[in-house]
Amino acid sequence: MKVDGLSNIHALQPTARTGRTAKVSTAASSSVAFSGSADWVRGLQGQAKTEMPPRTEVIAEMRSALADGTFESTVDVANVVEALLVEL
């Protein structure tokens, strides 16, 4: 994708008030229901945690590199871009 300038970006416009107020319920709810998709995602998250636990040493290394500003120098950007293009 090639971006030429900022000609398509528009400033935010103010909104007008309608004069209506929203009704907010203060009653406590005793249960929450999730859609089938949400349950499926939750199941995938649980499966990922048991089958592929987080690699704490890699996470610590990346956090350290981000904190001291050396992350960019440890990444082969050309290799990352090539890998992403292969996925497309």
pLDDT at site 49 = 82
Question: Whole-angstrom Cα distance, residue 71 to residue 62?
Answer: 7
Residue with tokens 């987080």: 54
pLDDT at site 22 = 65
As averages over each run of 10 residues, the pLDDT of the chain (88 residues) reads: 59 68 67 81 87 88 90 83 87
pLDDT at site 58 = 92
Question: Whole-angstrom Cα distance, residue 60 to residue 57?
Answer: 5
pLDDT at site 71 = 82
pLDDT at site 8 = 59
